Each structure stands twice: as C-alpha cells, then as structure tokens.
Structure 1
Amino acid sequence: MCLFHMTGDRKWLEPPYRPMRDVRLIADPDAGFDEAVSAEIRQAAEDWLSLERRTPAVDDPGADGFGELISIFLGEQVPAEYIALIRQDMGFEPNDVDWPDGDASENQHDVIIVGAGVSGVCLAAKLRRLGIGYRVFEKNAEVGGTWFENRYPGCGVDTPNHFYSYSFAPNSEWKHFFSPRDELQTYVEDCATAFGIRDRIEFDTAVTDASWDPDSSRWNVTVRGPDGIERAESAAVFVSASGHFNQPTVAEFPGQSEFAGEIFHTARWPDNANLAGKRVGIVGTGASSMQVVPTIAGEVDSLTIFQRTPQWARPIPEYNLPVATESQWLFDNVPYYDRWYRFAQFWRYGDGLLRFLKKDPSWEHPDRSLNRINERHRVEMADYIAEKLSDRPDLIDKCTPTYPPFGKRILIDNGWFDTLCEPHVELVTDGIDHFTPTGCVTADGVTHELDVMIMATGFTVTNLAARLNVTGRNGRRLADDWAHENPTAHLGITVPEFPNFFVMYGPNTNMGHGGSGIWLAETQTHYITKCIVNMADEGVETVEVRPEVRRAYTERIDEMHEQLIWTHEGTRTYYRNQFGKVRSPMPFRLVDYWLMTREPDFDDFIVTALESKAAAEPDVVAS
C-alpha cells in the first residue's frame, strides 16, 4: 500500500503483490509473500526512500479508490459502509464536529464531566476545540482512569496500542506493540497536557450527587474536594465518563476477617507490596490474574491459584516485544506506514471477528462451539494449551474451557501456561470454603497456608453511572432505573427522564468481540458534541430521549444477542445479568455503531426551546 502511495504505480496492487487473505487468529507477518516477492517489495521501498525528493504520487485516492485499496490490503471485499469510517480514522477525511457557521458565540450550554479517563479526556479536548465551557471532576490525583488505578505487576493492554490510541493524537513514541500500564498512563497524561485541558480538571474531587433542576433547566452537582468539603456546582449538560472498570468486585468468604496475612484486590495494589519469599494465593484466572501470575511467580516462595473457570488464551508473539529501532524507523519515515498499520490492527482486533460469533442453528456441536470457524478457533487454542502443558497432562483438562471461544474475551498467554508448570505453582479448582488465620480451606477439605491473598476478581459493571447518585426529572433515580443489574440506555448514551445527561462507555458498549476503548470514546464524543452543537444551532435548551426509543433500541439489542455467543448457555460471565440479558458488550459491528452515532436525530428526543429562541421563533422547536 505504501509503495502505491509513493509511486502511483498500480502494479503494486496486482498479483503477485496482493496480500493473501488470512483469517487465522494470528496473521502471517509475511502476508503470504514468498521470499523473492518480499525482497522485491523491500528493494522498491528502499529505492524510493533513497530519492532526494520524496513526494508521494498518490495522497488520497478518493472514496472509490480507497475502497479498492482496503479490500486489496485485506485480501477480501470490504463492505462499502466501512469506507467513510476508515478514511476518517486514517486521517484522509476530517473527523471533527464544527459549528455550522463557524461561530460558537450563541452557545448557551456548559458541561460538567465526571472522570478524566480516556473518555473524559477525549470529550474535554473536543469541547475545548469547539469553545464550549466545561469542567472535569476527577476523584483521582491524575488523569488516566483505569490505567491510573490499576498498578499491579504485569498490567497492560491486550489491544495493540497503535490502535488503542486517539486517531487525532498518534503516538510516535510507543516502546511496545502492546504497552504496559506505565506507558499507557504516560500517553494519557501527555495527551491531557497537549490538548490544553489540565486547567479545567479538578483532581482529588469526587461527584457525590447530581440532580436535575427543572426550574433552571440545569444540573445541580455536589462535589467533594481534596479538603473533604462539599460544594455545589451546576451545568446545563452533565456527562458521566466514569466507565466500566473502576468498582472492584471484592469476594467475601467466611472467616476472611480472621486471616492474619494481607488481602488486597489487583485494582488496589499497595505501593509497598512485598511478595518476595512469601506464600501467595490469588483468586481468579481472568485477565488481571493472567498478567499478574507470570510476573510475580519468580519472586514468591509458592503461588496457589484458585480457579473457578478456565480461560481461552492465545499466544501473540508481539505481546512482550519492544518496538525495535528498525520498526520505529518505518513508523517515522515511511509515508502512510503508520496509518495502514493502525488499520490492520483495527480490522483484526475489531469487526473482523464478530461475524464468526453468530450461532449456526445447523451446527452439529452447539455445546462446544457456535459454527465451523468458531470450532476451528477452539481446536487451535485447545491444541495450543495441550502443547504448552504436554509435560503436565494433569493440567490440560483443568485449563481447557468447555464453553465456546470468545464467550469471554480471549486472553493473551503472557507466560501463563509455562508458569503453571513451575514446581512451586499450584492450580486449585475446588472453591474456597473459608479462611483461617493462616490461610484458607477449599471445598475438598485441603488447607492452604498463605501469607498473602490477592483478589483478581474483576469489577462490578452493572452500576456504571448509577453509583454517582444521579436524580433526573420527577425525582427519578438512575439507580432505580438501572436496578436489578439491568442498565439500559439509547445507544448506551442517553436515558429517559434524564435531560441533557449523557453516559460514556455505558450499557452495551463494551468491546466484547474486540476493538478499542479509545475508539469508542472518540465515537461517543462525536455524538455528544454534535448534540450540543445542534442544540445551540437550533435553539434547543434540553434534550431527553423518548422512552419508546430506548425501549425499541433495547429490544433490538436483546434480539441480536440471542443470535450471538454471549447468550450461549455454557458461558458464565459478568456480561449477563440475573435475567440472562446481556448488558455489557455491544452486539453491533463497530461500523454499525459508528454510523448510529454520526448524527443525533432530535426526533428521538423530547426537546424544549431556549427561552430567547422560543420567544423570537415560537415554531422552531416543539416542547
């Protein structure tokens, strides 16, 4: 692709230079080219890059030409609806909301944002660009959200960070392809500085209450600052950017208070934690545990892992690899290289997978997989597990899930299976019955002597913004609206009876089939800022999604999920609530959600006019 941009020569789009289609979990880095073709491609690139004047012959091939390029790049026909999305994400088209007449002077809306994680930072940056007044209240001492709070050993991202980054703020300084926590935290901090939003963030300040005032059509918000004193604030628009993963789920066992050792959750890892030479237990085998265990195993005396459910995991060779000097040179010097690399990650870690997660009603093995491709993924990963544990056949059944692959997010083998084979590491599949002063006893009656117990038990994701104590119109509490583990919102963003209230990373917006939380933040930021701009432009004071719109949207989500893996009866996951409804992952392709959030439809809302506009133009907006 880069050679075509550089030279304009269409021969690079024809055989034998067309990459081969590759649907494996891990793509062939050589794209199916033989050694001779690879060498020819490299030589041609070197020849062009050695020229004194290096002006690409083709910058933007246009929408039709771009559709051809991305299809050639993937070795498959890409549906036309992706073209605009990918062109914007790659920077070939603008992706910002603008004022229709270029003037923000008539905007009468100001915004309070709760949270300065990747969503809050993104929204603040775009509000600042538009000249819309805003303030951010962050309960922590720095930006970053989940990346600020989670500091456990081995913490990192399982999405390639060239995609897990803002499209409008590419980072040329990534040191890894899958960045560890510190690198990600630094990126978010640097973005907050570069976007010029720090002076509008109040750190160590928590929102304790928010209520809608119908008389002033504003949100009254109570915040508690670092001095512990509460004060009142208000804004026309209230946005929760508190996210999914900031309320740890802490398991409670009988006798736990009697344990004389340390107990802590991975998300509350003590700064002074010292595990050297200690007998350590860890509850859980999810994403956090899979990162912690291989990282700490070398320093502890013994490590006992208490497993409820095994997890599907796959190897990714780049996971621990630094970005080599040569690779970094390509990102820095080869025109368009970084854009195409990002697109490759978008496709492989995004919508490229969802189509294989649909139930095939004619599939002959519905208990273990969904369809033929899902079965192939299962076999690949099961074979990998068996190979890694070939010297410990007693562990193979314990470590091989019985539910279909992707019923829970696929994890990355960060040395997990190798660590399980270490002589001082034990995998226990009997549940913990109770604690004693010196350890715990499992259901089989075995006593496990421990000095430290780590809870890698995940997060409570059904409360979301409801834990902010939000009260809408007519005294309606969000906690009541979302009671019984059943949060619902139109587009995951708006809730009836809560005017001018928006939720980021809300219900059914989790990336269950793959994707990037930062990509989601950009998408929802676009929708929210577009709402505010349209409100100002059309003289709208308040917008409140209609109950029937949310109801229809939720019914659509439930119908779609019935056809997808997360309602498979063999899968136990926090994705589903007590009624079996899936309330975490979205069932849509990323492109579908992107299209739904491009332009707010005010027919979906109850709208009221600004008094100044209503007096001058009484027929403009219905109340």
Structure 2
Amino acid sequence: MNIESPHKAIDLTSAIAEGDIRCLLMVLVHMTGDERWLEPPYLPKRDIRLIPDPEAGVPREIQDEIRAAVVKLFADGTPKPVITDPGEELLLKMMRACLGENVSPEYAPLMREEMGFVPRETRWTKRPSDQQLAEQHVLIVGAGVCAIALAVALGHVGIPYTIVEKNQELGGTWWINRYPGCGVDTPNHSYSYSFGPGNAWTRYFCQREELHGYLVKVANEYGIRKHLRVNTELTSSHWDEGKRRWISTLRTENGEETFESAALVSAIGQLNDPSRARFRGEEDFKGTILHSALWSDDIKLDGKHVAVIGTGATSMQLVPAIADRIASVTIYQRSAQWARPVKGYADPISEGARWLLAHLPFYVQWYRFNMFWRYGDGLLPFLRKDPAWPHPERAVNKGNDRHRQELTDFIRSELKDRPDLIEKCVPTYPPYGKRILLDNNWFKTLTRPNVELVTEAIHHFEQSGIVTADGKHRSADTIVVATGFKVTEMAARLNISGRDGKDLREAWGNDNPTAFLGLTVPGFPNFFCMLGPNSGPAHGGSVIFQSECQSRYISACLAAMIEHDVAAIDLRKEVLDDYVQKVDAEHEAMIWTHPGMSTYYRNSSGRVFSAMPWRFVDYWRMTHDPDLRQYKLTKA
C-alpha cells in the first residue's frame, strides 16, 4: 500500500519499518484493545538516552511480528480504535511497558492530560453571559511561548484578551535570537504544545527558524493574531483600587495610549533582557561589538577574526556554526561548562518517521511521551545531596559522581589529541550544578587550528582587539558578548505598581524576586507573572510544559472569579512566605545550592530564585486547580 505524503508516495511497510517499536506497540493496544502487546516477549528494554534506539532492544523476529501487525491493521485504511482514553490504570501499565521501567502512579493523571486523552482546559460550571466575559479583559505583555499558551487557554473559556508585543512579530525568544546555530536544547516533541496543531519537524532538535515557524503556525491556527498588537510596548501599569482594574500605558507607533484591563499578565519570562558585560576601553574598539541576543541579519562574519566572550549555551551553538567559514575565533572563558553528548542531535527525521508522526493514530502522543519522560523528572534524584556522600567537592551523590566520570571521559575522548585543552574544559563543580549544555561538536570545534580557547581574564579592549590579564593582545574584527540576561528583573522591569502604589521592583528588591508558584505576588491583585521566580525548569523538561501548567492556573483563577462574582484576588502574604520557605528548604537539599560554583539560578546572596526544585508532576498538581482561599477576595 502506498500513502501520499506532502512530498512523495510512501510505502506503508517502509514507513512502519522506520517506526519506534515502543510507539508501535502502544498503537496496537489503542487500535485493538489487546493487552498482550504489553507482555513478554514484546516488552521494550529500558533505554535512558534522549534519542532512544527505535528497535527498543527487542529481538529482530519480535520486531518483525510487531511491524507486520501494524501494517496489517492499517493495510485497508484506518480502523476505529478500540481504546481512545486508556484511563489511569491501563495508561500506567502502558507507560511502564513503553519505557521498560516502574513509572510512579502519580504520573498517570498528568500524562493522560498531557497526551490529550482528557482535556486540560478550564471548564465552566455554568457559562457566564457575554457581558460578564467582556468585563474580564486580560492584558498579556509579550508574545512568546507563554503568551501563546495562555491565549489558547483563555480562548477555550471565552475570556477576552489582548497581547502587546514591543517587537514587530510574535515569537519572543525565537523571534529575537537569530545568531548562527541558534536552536533548541530540548527535543522538539517535548518542546511543543500538548494541543494541536502538530508539526512536521525535520530534525530531533530544530533550529530557530523552524521553531519560530511552528509558533506562528499555532498562533494562526488558534486565531491569536486578531488579539495581537505588535510594535506596542507596555511602559507602565498601576492598579486602580476604585475601578479594580489595571491601568496601563502603552507606547505605540502613533504615540501613547491608556489601556484598562481586569487582569494583567507578564509573559516575558526570565531570559528577555540581555545582560551586556562591559569592559574597559571598549569605546576604543574599531570593530563591531554586539550581544548575541541582538544579532541582526546584516552581520557578516565570513573571513573575519571573531571573539566570543562566554561559554554558555549560546556560545556552544554559535561557535561550531561559524568556525569553518571565518578566519579565526577566540573564545574567552570564565569557567568551564559540562556538556552532554546526544547521539542524533543534528540528525534529520526520516521521511517515513515523519509520516508516522503526522498520520499514524496515537503514534505522535507516545513518541512525545517518550521525549517528555527522557528529558523530565528522571534526572532529579541524581541532583539531590546525599549527606553521607564522602566527596561533596566533586559531586552531590554517587549517581551524580558517575555522571561526572562519564562526562569527563567524554571530554577526554573528544580532546585526546589536545591534552592542553583538557584541563581548561573539565569543570570543577558537580555536573548539572549549572544548566546542563548539549555538545554540538563543541569540543571537536575547539581542536580546530583557527580556534583558540582563552581562560585568562580580559583586562581591556583596544582598537584592534582584546588584551588579557597576562598582557597578550589578540586581534578581532567582531566581538560577540554572550554573557546571558538580567534574570533577576523578570516582570519588575515592566514598571508595575500594585496596591498603595507598591512597586514590583521594590517588592523584588535585593535581587530576590519571589512569587507563589512563580505566578502571583501579594499586593498585586489580578496580576500573574508567567515563568516567574522559582518556576524555571532546571533539571530538564521544557518551558512549554511550564507555560501550559501556568495557563491552566491563570484561566482557572479568572473563571472562578467570574463564577463567584469576585472582582479581585490578592495573594495572602503568609501563603507566599510559607511557599518560599518550602522552596528554599527543598533547594538546600539540591545541587543548585552547592558552594563550589556560581550560576544565574542564584542571586547575589546565594539564594536560588530562578530554578524550580519540584518534579514536573508535582508542579502540574500544584497549578492544576487554584484554591481561592489562599487569596484575599474583593467582591464585585
């Protein structure tokens, strides 16, 4: 049987031959209702790699039987499935069989929702009138991943909203960042929304252009553009106690205007405001200096001498992407970074596999589940401090130490012909203590003859380049400053003032932003900050998952307010204090408070303010159904 794809006719047998055995087994269960596919001899072997072996450790003859059964099932078209929603008990059995490991029961309700077997969106007890809905207009600031998720959630319940975006197009991070090599470090099928439309990804880890195209596709599918105002910047917003509304000032192409809304949402996240390190003498430099997040399409690097300051995620993507077409690149490193090898990182997804993901019923849900799990909570136990571990200077527990050895062996193997680089490249802090990076041929690139890694501190800039503390001058035509973002500011930079004129910047003083569930702050009624303090995924996962959890919480809060005739909700201070105490206590037991390193997850006092300490399943549960008793309520 031949199947027409957008590109060419695909033979069904050939397509199935490229499928992942784990997902094909789950398809068979859904379509036939036969649970024998969840028993030996069909069971996959456990595989902890991010991109697992599609053969799943199953013997060849058993693979052939599984694939033949799927081909036979779909040979004459698509039959009606016997099981659409497996329910929690069967789903748990299916997840355990699919992964070859003992998945905890609490993941069943989460994944039942995440895989679309039951709806995630908020639902009305009794739908309000159109007039009631019209009075609850929401202003969303920023048009990136979070705003799109929230717009879809609000659209489901009919709550009106407006998104303002200071740039000329939606996409947030994926519109702004366009340096060479820019892309995701989370698998696409995890870094995507649980709701449609699907996407025909060309790679397992896509580049920036493809991801931005996906966000545009989702926005168009859900009619978000008619609610979007680009080239429109929020310059200030204050809570009007008399009106019980947010009064915002917007800077537009036609001047300033005032905008009133029942709720205000910051959807700008944490990594939105570039932190441009400054250096003595940079005004004397005759070439181009730019922050990596401010890249423009007219920057030409071919044949030039380039300096890159910083060795974080951006550099690890940028340098390998440009090294073969420039005269030289000098990388200035403050501290070494752990980088994780991922087999298949740059591989294309085959035509047959793409067809299966787009057309075979239930296949994409289970493939996406695999990616969610592999980049999810599995790592977290290895990041917990073991008080009895005898070598806390190099790792936080035995498993973490094993990861350290594996990653060290990888670095040594990559740099075996350059022993001078090994000492520079093996970090001294425990793996995963900072954001873990993915190797994109980074270490191999460092061995190129036109690449130099410098660990001496930068002393000053001169007209033609950079001088380090040892007095050595290195020439540069272009200097790329890849030194991250002003993470502590988050929504505080939006000039927001709440009850009694309380300023959010003041409330979050001393580089110490705090928010209940990373979302709400006492004294700021009807205000939500998405991806706010202590809600950033640090042990894996995807900000898209976080954005969907938070969108569910926000839409549920607003729906409950309408149903219970509440004009304003204001978080009780004791609720935040209790939550922060629990967050800090949890972090004390986690790797991110290890004393042997600095990380943007911590503020100047050493408190972890950015990263979330919880499992994803815990955060999903915490944000699923808001408890308005945690808020002071003002009746309408």
Q: Same fold (TM over 0.5)?
A: yes
Q: 1:89 aligns with which of 101, 106, 114?
A: 114
Q: Which residue of 2 aligns with 1:390?
A: 416
Residue 40 (1) aligns with residue 68 (2): no
TM-score (norm 2): 0.94
Asked if 2 retains the 8 angstrom alpha-carbon contact of 1:104 and 1:131, the reply is no
Instruction: Output the amino acid matched with 2:175.
Output: F
Q: Secondary structure at the match of 1:211?
A: strand
Q: Which residue of 2 aligns with 1:294?
A: 320
Q: 2:95 aligns with which of 61, 70, 75?
A: 70
Residues 170-205 of structure 1 show CA distances to partners (whole Å, capped at 9, x for unaligned) of 423212211100011111111111111212111011
Q: Secondary structure at the match of 2:235?
A: strand
Tell me which moved more, 369-378 or 214-223: 369-378
Against the structure 1 CA distance between its residues 154 and 97, is the aligned structure 2 distance closer, same or farther, given a 3 Å change threshold?
Answer: same
Instruction: Output the amino acid matched with 1:383.
Output: D
Instruction: Output the amino acid matched with 1:364.
Output: P
Q: Give the percent of matched residue pairs that are identical in Structure 1 and Structure 2.
A: 49
Residue 453 (1) aligns with residue 479 (2): yes
Against the structure 1 CA distance between its residues 184 and 104, is the aligned structure 2 distance closer, same or farther, given a 3 Å change threshold?
Answer: farther
Q: 2:213 aligns with which of 186, 192, 195?
A: 186
Tell me which moved more, 488-497 or 318-327: 318-327
Question: Residue 61 of structure 1: CA displacement?
Answer: 2.4
Instruction: Output the amino acid matched with 2:145.
Output: V
Tell me which moved more, 327-336 or 267-276: 327-336
Asked if 1 retains the 8 angstrom alpha-carbon contact of 2:403 and 2:431, the reply is yes
Question: Residue 502 of structure 1: CA displacement?
Answer: 0.7
Residue 204 (1) aligns with residue 231 (2): yes
Q: Secondary structure at the match of 2:392?
A: coil
Question: Residue 409 of structure 1: CA displacement?
Answer: 1.8
Q: Which residue of 1 aligns with 2:290?
A: 264
Q: Which residue of 1 aligns with 2:580?
A: 554
Q: Which residue of 1 aligns with 2:468?
A: 442
Residue 603 (1) aligns with residue 633 (2): no
Question: Residue 78 of structure 1: CA displacement?
Answer: 1.7
Q: Secondary structure at the match of 1:542?
A: strand
Q: Which residue of 2 aligns with 1:381?
A: 407
TM-score (norm 1): 0.96
Asked if 2 retains the 8 angstrom alpha-carbon contact of 1:350 and 1:513, the reply is yes
Root mean square deviation of aligned Cα:
1.4
Instruction: Output the amino acid matched with 1:183.
Output: E
Q: Which residue of 2 aligns with 1:620?
A: none
Structure 2, gaps ≥5 residues long: 1-25
Q: Which residue of 2 aligns with 1:149?
A: 176
What is the distance in 1 between the residues matched to 2:172 and 2:86?
A: 39
Asked if 2 retains the 8 angstrom alpha-carbon contact of 1:104 and 1:132, the reply is no
Q: Secondary structure at the match of 1:398?
A: helix
Structure 1, gaps ≥5 residues long: 611-623
Instruction: Output the amino acid matched with 1:566.
Output: W
Instruction: Output the amino acid matched with 1:58.
Output: I
Q: Which residue of 1 aligns with 2:589?
A: 563
Q: Which residue of 2 aligns with 1:366?
A: 392
Against the structure 1 CA distance between its residues 104 and 409, is the aligned structure 2 distance closer, same or farther, given a 3 Å change threshold?
Answer: farther
Asked if 2 retains the 8 angstrom alpha-carbon contact of 1:25 and 1:377, the reply is no
Tell me which moved more, 51-60 or 134-143: 51-60
What is the distance in 2 between the residues matched to 1:323 and 1:20?
A: 22
Instruction: Output the amino acid matched with 2:390.
Output: E
What is the distance in 2 between the residues matched to 1:53 and 1:260?
A: 65
Against the structure 1 CA distance between its residues 416 and 53, is the aligned structure 2 distance closer, same or farther, given a 3 Å change threshold?
Answer: closer
What is the distance in 2 between the residues matched to 1:423 and 1:452?
A: 19
Tell me which moved more, 55-64 or 340-349: 55-64
Q: Secondary structure at the match of 2:325?
A: coil
What is the distance in 1 between the residues matched to 2:445 and 2:126?
A: 61
Question: Residue 28 of structure 1: CA displacement?
Answer: 4.1
Q: Which residue of 1 aligns with 2:352?
A: 326
Question: Residue 62 of structure 1: CA displacement?
Answer: 1.9
Q: Which residue of 1 aligns with 2:141?
A: 114
Asked if 2 retains the 8 angstrom alpha-carbon contact of 1:284 and 1:456, the reply is yes
Q: 2:377 aligns with which of 351, 358, 361?
A: 351
What is the distance in 2 between the residues matched to 1:380 and 1:45?
A: 38
Residues 373-396 of structure 1 show CA distances to partners (whole Å, capped at 9, x for unaligned) of 211211111111111111111111
Q: Which residue of 2 aligns with 1:615?
A: none
What is the distance in 2 between the residues matched to 1:275 and 1:346?
A: 37
Question: Residue 25 of structure 1: CA displacement?
Answer: 6.3
Q: 2:250 aligns with which of 215, 220, 223?
A: 223
What is the distance in 1 between the residues matched to 2:78 and 2:449?
A: 61
Residue 3 (1) aligns with residue 28 (2): yes
Tell me which moved more, 424-433 or 318-327: 318-327
Instruction: Output the amino acid matched with 2:337.
Output: Q
Q: 1:131 aligns with which of 158, 163, 167?
A: 158
Q: 2:124 aligns with which of 78, 99, 108?
A: 99
Asked if 2 retains the 8 angstrom alpha-carbon contact of 1:279 and 1:450, the reply is yes
Instruction: Output the amino acid matched with 1:152.
Output: Y
